[in-house]
Chains A and B, each alone.
Chain A
């Protein structure tokens, strides 16, 4: 079956532009996560949904970052007024059930470059 997909795979934005990154989780997966990975670093947590409810957004770096999952399936991460420090790979992951013992399945990521 299909895994987690993300689009676009690559995005180049001029500083100040708004961007929207899309994540299609594995069908039926309850939990959805967004992570940010800077070059040479491990992924860092941004936010987490259980169905359509955003249960944890403690990792969002500023109020320019906004995520939604209105129907409990597809999710969009929006970054307003992009800055150079936003350049990173944005990873989406989903897991089947709620609970901490579940494997997270990661998408290929969207590489964002802000010029």
Chain B
């Protein structure tokens, strides 16, 4: 069974706009990771945030983590058509193995 839920399930925006996706999870985590998946490049790691971190940036990506609410958000600024993909959050349980537990994903469409 999957750990969490992404919200929204689908998001459609215009190029240049910002896109925000949210992820909730159920149990204590070691870290949370965001991945992107499209048909051309498969599943690609975007960013990892540890449980003792609150915010992390990578280029146009900003990730926040609120462990008290068991939630995370991914912000993509100044979106491009090439950002069109499905985005998944994945968690690593505290005290568990190294396996990733994925949510169901948010399908982002960026219109030119």
Interface of A toward B, CB cutoff 8 Å: 31, 33, 35, 40-45, 48, 55-56, 59, 91, 93, 95, 98-109
Q: How many residues of B contact A (CB 8 A)?
A: 23
B45 x A104 contact (CB < 8 A): yes
Query: A2: shortest Cβ distance to chain B, in Å?
Result: 14
Q: Sorted from nearest, which 7 A-B pairs have the closest CB atoms?
A: A42-B102, A106-B43, A56-B97, A45-B99, A103-B45, A100-B92, A100-B30
Instruction: Report how far A93 CA is from B31 CA in the complex, Å.
Output: 18
Known pairs A42-B103, A43-B102. 6 more at Cβ < 8 A?
A41-B2, A42-B90, A45-B100, A48-B99, A100-B92, A104-B45
From B92, B98, B105, give the contact of A31 (CB < 8 A): B98
From B35, B43, B101, B103, give the contact of A45 (CB < 8 A): B101
Instruction: Report how far A32 CA is from B66 CA in the complex, Å.
Output: 30
Instruction: Report how far A56 CA is from B35 CA in the complex, Å.
Output: 22
Binary flags per residue of B77-110, CB closer than 8 Å to A gives 1, else 0 = 0000000000010101000011111111100000
A residues within 8 A CB of B102?
35, 42-44
Interface of B toward A, CB cutoff 8 Å: 2, 30-31, 33, 35, 42-45, 48, 50, 88, 90, 92, 97-105
A101 x B99 contact (CB < 8 A): no
A95 x B98 contact (CB < 8 A): yes
B residues within 8 A CB of A35?
100, 102
Instruction: Report how far A84 CA is from B16 CA in the complex, Å.
Output: 43
Query: B47: shortest Cβ distance to chain A, in Å?
Result: 10
| CB closest residue in chain A, given B4 | A42
| CB closest residue in chain B, given A33 | B99
A100 x B31 contact (CB < 8 A): yes
A residues within 8 A CB of B101?
45
